[in-house]
Amino acid sequence: MQKLTNKEEEIMHILWKLKKAFVKDVMAEITEDQPHYNTLSTIIRNLEEKGYVGHNAYGNTHQYFPVIALEDYRKTFMSTAIDNYFNSSYKNMVSFFAEEDKISADELREILDIIEKRK
């Protein structure tokens, strides 16, 4: 799976949310730093070339839809992030969030409960 730019990732989140959309539909969802219509269209076509998006043609208009599921992308992204930033250690990742006060002791207990129930 090819890495996406931040803007491509933003567009993919919109397409995952909408499921099917024309460029104008995607444009309507962008609240900040809205690109020009042609730029957005190019980004979506690039996503299609990378294999993330497909389309249905209606004359000269295209309706786009995600080909890669959000969950599949999330798994790949998280695995890469954990490998690159936490030495492939989930323990290091959780410790990082605990040290940054991004996760509470109660949340960690909930995670432990989930793990225990799976065994």
Are 20 and 64 a contacting pair, CB within 8 Å?
A: yes
Per-residue pLDDT tens over the stretch 9-54: 999 999 999 999 999 999 999 988 889 999 999 999 999 999 999 9
How many residues does the structure list for the chain? 119
Residue 61 has phi, psi (to 5 degrees) of -105, 145
Q: What is the pLDDT of residue 39?
A: 96
8-state DSSP, 56:
E
Burial (CB < 10 A; 0-12, 13-18, 19+), residue 53, is buried
- The residues near 22 (Cβ < 8 Å, ≥ 6 apart) are 61, 62, 63, 64
How is domain 6-66 classified at the CATH fold level?
Answer: Arc Repressor Mutant, subunit A (1.10.10)
Strand partners, 56: 63
Q: What is the pLDDT of residue 110?
A: 92
**Which pair of tokens denotes residue 119?**
């065994």
